[in-house]
Amino acid sequence: MSSTKRFPTICPSCGGVLAVKSLHCAECDTTISGQFEVHPILRLTTEEQQFVMAFIRCSGSLKQMAADMGLSYPTVRNILDDIISKLQSYESTL
């Protein structure tokens, strides 16, 4: 089982969008505090983020992605279109 925790983007208490308040360097123990916005891509699910990574790795070739993922071309295009509309809705709420 992976020990990596999923980056939380939604407040479990009120459902609002979380912002980053502090960042920590594990190497030198430095902590930076402030108000940092979470990029819309980070608000995608792990699977969706992996899809975006695969999309970049394939230079945006959906045909190549479909072949690599063992899915049909329209299925891959539909996943991409769903991610695009999700990102658009996130960006509109910024």
Angle between helices 62-69 and 46-57 (to 10 degrees): 120
CB of 50 to another protein, least distance (A): 17
CA 45 – CA 3 distance, rounded (Å):
17
When asked if residue 86 is in the footprint of another protein (CB under 8 A), the reply is: no
CB of 72 to another protein, least distance (A): 4
Displacement of CA 19 from its chain's centroid (Å): 15
CA 68 – CA 85 distance, rounded (Å):
24
Tokens (6 digits) for 92: 């509109």
The single-letter code of the amino acid at 61 is S
Site string for another protein, 27-66 (x = CB under 8 A): ----------------------------------------
When asked if residue 71 is in the footprint of another protein (CB under 8 A), the reply is: yes
Total residues in contact with another protein, by rule CB under 8 A: 10
Interface with another protein (CB under 8 A): 70-75, 77-78, 81, 85
